Amino acid sequence: MPSVLFWKMFPCNDGLQGQCSIAACLEVRCKCYSSHILLDIDTVSTQTPPNNPPDIAWQIRTLSESAKAMALRGQSEEAAKLYQKILEVAPHHVAALNFLAKRAMEQGDAHRSLELLERSVHANPERAMPYQNIGLVYKTIGEYDLALSALDRALAIKPLYPMALLHKGSVLELLGRHREAIHAYLRAWTQATDFQELRHSQQTLPHIRDLISHSADVIIRAKIAMLNRALSTLRTQHDATELDRVEHFVCAYLGTMPPRYEHAMQRPAFLHFPDLQPQAFFERTDFDWIEELEAATPQIRTELLAVLRQPEELQPYVQINAPDTAQWKELNYSLHWSSFHLYKAGTRIEPHCEQCPITASIVEKLPLARTPAQSPEVFFSILKPGTKIPPHFGLANYKLAVHLPLIVPEKCAIRAGNETRTWTEGQCLIFDDSFRHEAWNNSGEMRAVLIMDAWNPRLSAAERQAVAAVLGVIRDFDQEYGPDFLPGST
């Protein structure tokens, strides 16, 4: 007889008298995992005619509470008898229907389980959980198309329901629709911030732990296949020792090993390339092309001034649409820190380059970091008087931020790691923005610099190619399956 464990209860530490009631888990998401996997057996919907005497409703509530208590004590048989008595009086009592549906499935009676769940849906059609449970029953008995249909009904009510998405992914796999399965698994992981914790928690039901881990493995295997194709040529052209750091970089990205940060103040927001000697600021002499850029400072400043005469062309640099933006509260969608991009996420902004042809032509000739969907970023960065950029981390340590100062009044500075420096007009300032860094303009005038991405000089040519290949996979994976979110396995 198939075991349908998604109805089972277990202890919870959320202060609910030693056990979590199902409705409480559904509404407040206690630390146990029943909110996603248990039948909704604590929701009372008597659905009795409004003229029923109050003592009948009271008796139903009393019986329901007694049945629930018995179930929590493991007295399933006695609880089932009480719930059955409740249905005789209140045939649409949701808790009774769901509990008895669970019992029916445990006893191998899928038909009876489905009949009870359908009645539960009829009693409360706006809840996603009963549709999910119908889908799980159909999945257990091998009716995968019907299971998918029921899970889609649940997701129509609650589109970002993580467990329904996971179960949908598993059903799609059984139907041989692997691409859609990966998409469903990805959506589940992006919505459930606690999957990683639950994946390793002994309080999580074993079959749910297995499903979470399986979904992560499916995502990782798909990405590994794409990475292997992208890196195959490099691996044949170079000795394994030359690509040792690349392999660790890939593993850190996949989550199969934790990143090894070399400095306490260095935490890339996106990707970390291992074993690069940490250094917050670099010297201009480290780059043989810097003088060519600096020599064009007067022409670049002239084009900047032309842009500034059309302030409507400037855009807020910080544009975050997320619930937690406290760090950027003062600058989010604010022109106190504005920008004018010539390149954004590796894409050339043609109208802006046409407005600044000299700057664009110079940038084109420079050996900047060029990677799919990320680099280079090339833009004029303008800080209004009195503006402070709060401490934050850049995306990665394999590329550096190059600032060509164009307009720099006094009382302007930047701090990266533990070091503070000031800008000098016409002399590039170069730093690794994966270090914690901040900047400020405490003057009464505007500060403006041209910013661009350069490769960290401690990367070999092969490593640069490998980084670009990995970023290409990230872009392609995003286009193929949806937003790139990769669950780690460590």
> Domain coordinates of the chain in residue numbers?
5-158, 281-457
Q: What is the pLDDT of residue 124?
A: 85
For residue 110, give the nearest of 136, 87, 78 by alpha carbon.
136
**Structure tokens belonging to residue 446:** 């505007």
pTM of the model: 0.78
Using the 8-state DSSP alphabet, how is residue 266 labeled? B
Give backbone dihedrals phi and psi of 223, rounded to 5 degrees, phi first: -70, -40
Query: What is the tens place of the pLDDT at every residue in 70-83?
Result: 988 989 999 999 99
How is domain 5-158 classified at the architecture level of CATH? Alpha Horseshoe (1.25)
Cis peptide before 367 (omega within 30 of 0): no
How far is the C-alpha of 220 from the C-alpha of 234, rounded, in Å?
Answer: 21
pLDDT exceeds 90 at position 240: yes
pLDDT digits (tens, 9 = 90+) for 436-487: 999 999 999 999 999 999 999 999 999 999 999 999 999 999 988 876 554 5
CA-to-CA distance for 420 and 435, rounded, in angstroms? Answer: 12
**What is the pLDDT averaged over residues 407-420?**
97
Average pLDDT, the chain: 87
Q: Is residue 20 within 8 Å of 83, Cβ to Cβ?
A: no
Higher pLDDT among residues 489 and 22, named by residue: 489
Q: Over the stretch 19-51, which tens digit does the pLDDT of each residue have?
A: 333 222 222 223 333 333 333 333 333 344 445
Beta bridge partners of 339: 315, 381
CA 173-175-179 angle, 5° bins: 50
Helix (H, G, I), strand (E, B) or coil at 413: strand
Residue where the block lists tokens 């040529």: 233
Q: Is residue 1's pLDDT more than 80?
A: no
Mean pLDDT calculated for residue range 205-228: 94
Q: Cα separation of 190 and 425, whole Å?
A: 44
pLDDT of residue 254: 92
- By C-alpha distance, which of 299, 300, 332 is closest to 318? 332
Fold assignment, 281-457 = Jelly Rolls (2.60.120)
pLDDT score of 256: 87
Please give the backbone phi and psi of residue 485, each rounded to the nearest 5 degrees, phi first.
-140, 115
Positive/negative CA dihedral, 34, 36, 41, 47: positive
Locate 301 and state its tokens: 């400043």
pLDDT for residue 300: 98
